[in-house]
Amino acid sequence: MGGPGPAPEIPRSAREAALEVLHRVDAGQAFSGVLLRRVLERAGLPAADEALAAELTLGTLRHRAEVDWALSHVSHTPLDDLPSRIRAVLRMGAYQLMFLDRIPASAACSQAVELAKRFGHRGTARLVNAVLRRVAAAPDVIPADASTPEGIALRHSHPLWLVRRWVDRFGVDEARALCRTNNVTPPASVRLNTLRGTPASVAAAIEALGVVTAPSMLAPEGAHIVQASPHARRAAYAEGWVSPQDEGSMLVSRLVAPRPGETIVDACAGSGGKAMHLAALMENRGRVVAADIVPAKLAANARHAKRLGVTIVEPRLLAARSLTDVLPAGADRVLVDAPCSGLGVLRRRPEIRWRIQPEQLRTLAARQRGIMEDASAAVRPGGLLVFSVCTLEPEEGPAVVSEFLDAHPEFDPEPIEGAVFARVPRGPGAFLYPHLHGTDGFFVAMCRRRL
């Protein structure tokens, strides 16, 4: 039960849009942010409905443990025994009843029943009606966290294994603060395209389109969207004035510190967010080799370059081990923004907390070590190797870099300057923490190849 099944061509309401995303996330088809954007573009809903769809989708994912706990206390049918769409209908309805005071209980229940009728049958509609009315009539109070990992995991909707790790590393208060921050909607951060002007002039240009921003306190080219309609946001993006990007990601590119005229490698370029930023920092002078092994990501890379007016980025279908084939003399700086668990970006991709299991961390770390090893061969003598991952887990960060340095005496760790980062007490690199820095969570380290 609960396979992906056919999705409706065009969602007719905010709740239908949210349901489609929740159902497809449950099936593991993609990340919620990507799916939500695509579904909303297809649906063409009014701005208020788009905002509601985003709230229902992300809120339901962020608070899944609390929602499931409440549903399990009033339903005789286990959630896992229900079809995926009906499970999503119940979770979305319970989320509204438990967390959205502005939506009347009667509306939350009746709309959920209508969805159950459309995507289920009479029996599932009756089940949804009965379960949600029990939640509305006598909602169970989620137990206080009681300063235990079990309590924090339930009250702040994180997997217990992850909370236990954070309590061991950070202590109860800081682990709780991190979990709370992961359940708060992050600011809508954008990078202003400095190839089109100064940050101030670009901000003025997009304000004329209807996008009002406030400057970032962490990155000169960063900004937070204060007010904008979906149409205005899309116009600013399509015309090449801005790119959505977290400030933590911008700080990673700034640590690479590329100079105009240099040769830079982005060894795990993906769709090119950091590669485009590196090109802007280089004033579009020099060479940025954007390597990846997924053709669709490189196609997106090329589209972003065209949209932003970037001409020095070269998308290359290359694994890190093949970089020296195209750069026999080496590169001045190599960025390895390695694939990872993503446990530092739970504010934006809340479903990751339910997808990743602890045993996967070791496998991911081994892959990261391999990529770093391969990419290091492309660093010229005196050049810089920067390693970054959007996770907070030590296996994927300090341990990877420490093992690399132990195996490569030709590289020395380089200190990370600036007050923003939290240094690793005994080891290379530094962290950015959502609850301390207001950014996505990152680990980053720099290694300099000896001359």
> Is the predicted pLDDT of residue 5 greater than 70, yes or no?
no
Please state, in angstroms and as integers, the Cα–Cα distance from residue 292 to each residue in 18, 300, 322, 385, following that order. Answer: 32, 11, 11, 17
- Please choose, from the candidates 50, 54, 56, the residue with its C-alpha nearest in 3D space to the C-alpha of residue 232: 50
CA-based max dimension of the chain: 74
For the chain, domain boundaries? 14-137, 149-182, 189-244, 247-449
Q: Which listed residue (109, 179, 340, 390) is catalytic? A: 390
Q: How many CA atoms lie within 13 A of 192 on its CB side?
A: 26
Contacts of 181 (CB under 8 A, 6+ apart): 347, 434, 435
The reported pTM is 0.92
Residue identified by tokens 């900004």 is 223
Whole-angstrom Cα distance, residue 281 to residue 260?
8
pLDDT digits (tens, 9 = 90+) for 27-40: 888 889 889 999 99
The CATH class of 247-449 is alpha beta
Q: Give the residue-averaged pLDDT of 104-130.
A: 93
Q: In this structure, which topology does domain 189-244 adopt according to CATH?
A: Alpha-Beta Plaits (3.30.70)
pLDDT score at 9: 66
pLDDT digits (tens, 9 = 90+) for 120-174: 888 999 999 999 999 998 777 788 888 999 999 999 999 999 999 999 999 999 9
Contacts of 441 (CB under 8 A, 6+ apart): 248, 343, 344, 345, 346, 390, 391, 392, 431, 432, 433, 434
305-314 core/surface letters (b: 16 or more CB in 10 A; e: else): bebbebebbb
* CB-based burial label for 359 (10 Å; 0-12, 13-18, 19+): exposed
Residue identified by tokens 């061969």 is 377
Q: Give the residue-averaged pLDDT of 325-354.
A: 96
Residue identified by tokens 């339930």 is 154
Q: What angle do CA 305, 388, 22 make, to 5 degrees?
A: 75
* CB-based burial label for 170 (10 Å; 0-12, 13-18, 19+): middle
Please state, in angstroms and as integers, the Cα–Cα distance from residue 315 to each residue in 290, 302, 349, following that order. Answer: 5, 7, 26
Report, in this order, helix, strand and coil percent for the chain, each rounded to 5: 50, 15, 35
Q: Give the residue-averaged pLDDT of 415-439.
A: 88
Least confident window among 3-12, 133-142, 176-185, 254-263: 3-12
Tell whether domain 14-137 is in CATH 1.10.940.10: yes
Residue 163 and residue 152 in contact, taking contact as beta carbons nearer than 8 Å: yes
> Is the predicted pLDDT of residue 418 greater than 80, yes or no?
no
Whole-angstrom Cα distance, residue 50 to residue 312?
36
Whole-angstrom Cα distance, residue 434 to residue 178?
7
Active site residue 390: yes
Distance of CA 314 to the CA centre of its chain: 25
pLDDT digits (tens, 9 = 90+) for 282-294: 999 999 999 999 9
> Is the predicted pLDDT of residue 1 greater than 50, yes or no?
no
